[in-house]
Structure 1
Amino acid sequence: MDLKRDTVITVSSDRYAVQTNKFWDNWYIGAGGGALIFFGDHNKQQKFGERLSPNFNFYLGKSFSPGVGIRAGISGFKIVGLTQNGSHSTGEQYGEIPWEGFWLYKQEFNFYHIHADAMFNVTNLVAGFDEDRFYHVSPYLGLGWMVSRDEPIEREVSANIGVLNSFKLSKGLDLTLDVRGSMVNDRFDGELGGRRNEGFMAASIGLQYKFNKRNWSKPITTTITYDDAEFLKILDQIKKLADDNESLREQLAKARDTTITNIEVKKNMLAAPILVTFPINKSTVSNEARVNLGFFAKLIKETSPDITYSITGYADEGTGTPTINERLSRERADAIYDVLVKEFDVNPKQLKKHHKGGVANMYYNDPRLSRAVITIADILINE
């Protein structure tokens, strides 16, 4: 007899709760272009517009959660400024008034900047994840390696901080505004001056594409309910069989297996029902249970071959999740089936396997007796 059951799936309403995705989910790439302004020893003598130079960037990133991720990228192109010692000079003098007898010359050199950033999506961290949100702001910080490509070549470790602003265009595509500040050693432009450090501020507009899986799923709770009338009917049938068998009543009362001896076998007999219990979260058949199963198998083989027996696995509803209990009850039924067929040569055609997941206390209000497998002749419970 199969139990009727209803399954209710509930999606969490907690805006901060999400399921963890696989490693290859939530990756993205981006690219953009804009301008940067370099802060060197003499650049403040220039007009603002003369200090700007083009800048491009490309990056690959991954989000570990809606609020935290990492990315690695490369940016750069050209830096312009002023030099006094002639480093990276274009040869063009700047201005007509010398500074303490020294002239300043225009400076220009190419560079690239490799960097890795830790990303923090403040919008999701504060307001919770929303797949349809239009705007996200993500501050970041990180380290990099900045290299000037023209002589004199300098290579310096950089410290970086910035803000990535993203605007949703579609499920997979965002428009981005990336503002980054980077700081390196004073010698990067080939000239040591009064600064301890120098660096640049860059802003770029670009596009960011997110690979599948792009979003985050809410946690789901599955609740399974059974038809109480049918369930109680089965329990009542099992109880009546237990009451008619002294050895089984003793086994249930002591929560242990009882050895069956001195059985007279007749062809029209049925093998008496047998119950095997298991420890919490286990599906291993003990040696004591195997002894009883051996007697049980002998009866099956020496009585009518037309009789079939149901092997039904159960788990204790009070421990474990519905998913775990469903698996445990199935594995326990499989274990008893394997012992009867593989160890004691019972005909598989006489056995049927079932599993009922987690159930409430079936006997004597003792949850240990619900972590069990019951094997019984089918004809005794057919209606």
Structure 2
Amino acid sequence: MKIKNVFLSCLMLCGVLTASAQEAKTEYVHNPYWYIQLQGGAQYTLGEIAFKDLISPNVQVTVGRQFTPVFGARLAVNAWQSRAGIDFTDETFVGITGNATTGYTPTAATVPGGTTKWKWMYVAPGIDLTFNLSNLFCGYNPNRIFNFSVFAGAGANIAWGMDKDSNWENAELLAAHFPVSYVAGTNPENIAYAWDGTKVRMFGRAGVAADFKVSDAVSLGLEVNANTLSDRYNGKKASNWDWYFNALAGVKINLGQTYTTRTIEAPKPVERVVEKVIERVVEKPAPVVTQAVVEKKEPFRRDVFFQINKTAIAKSEAGKVQEVAEYLNANPNAKVEVTGYADIGTGNPTINKRLSKLRAESVFNALTKQYKIDASRIKVDYKGDTIQPFAKEADNRVAICIAE
């Protein structure tokens, strides 16, 4: 073969691959669930006699619903017994005997002191709103061993048995220390509100709870709650609200699956290609190769905007989620990446990170549950307020959906 002085140009390609050090991570998704709770303990009814004399047994049965990692509601039926009493000191009563003919003689009688105590039965169903502070401030983690919550609510206290003779101790002291009013058939001032039969009174309740996880379905818990209702509850007139406090321990049983998991893939490594060209002297120009220009199709994108501090999809934005679902159904091989954001002008990094996560999850849940899109076709990510995709602050309260 004849050698010519023309050297052909040679193109060498070297691919340098840079990989991200991040790894795929597992994320927990909360499932709303029901639970039941059984508790027992003691009650202290606020009063003036010795503390030990105002302690009585107490039980509580609860059915609740955990709607989100933070917010829930429950129906708690608390019941058993309440107590009250009066402390008397030694007293001397002065009277007069005799008549105008024989003359009058002063008399004196000393009545010993003591404590009159009474008790009655009750049942108090009430509805409370519950707030899991551990998930609120530390983020959702179903594997957390300890959870701290607060709650508040109201209900009806149904009480009976105050008029039962066996429920009174040292009742004779009332007649001895209040002889005139007692004999006259009227209650003395201290027990002016003593009642009989069955009474129904509204009450308010608030408290704290600590739960210790045993398994996904079972946890052990401690609870302290304070209850207040009208001044007539304990039968004593004091011109202020009556109170009782319950300290309870028990077991909570979760019904059904409380959470699911999904894997968030690590970002794909960015491939950078470095071209190295070796030039050679040529006798004549190489043929011109015309390359066809392929128009790159723009990815399908929808921006789902949210109100400030909101994570639920507004009705005005729901159509965008439907369009994403229709695109995925029309393109079976397509996948969508949903990325949540929060505006940097409000909240703080912790709150904004949670908001951006919940916004992305709202779109994810709508696609999988409402439109039945396979979860494996959806990648979820969230940026908090670290990235602001829009110049206008309010527009950064958004979940951006990009499908290819």
Instruction: Give me the TM-score of the superposition, normalised by structure 2.
Output: 0.47
Q: Which one has more relative contact order, counting CA pairs under 8 Å at least 6 apart? A: 2
Instruction: Give me the TM-score of the superposition, normalised by structure 1.
Output: 0.50
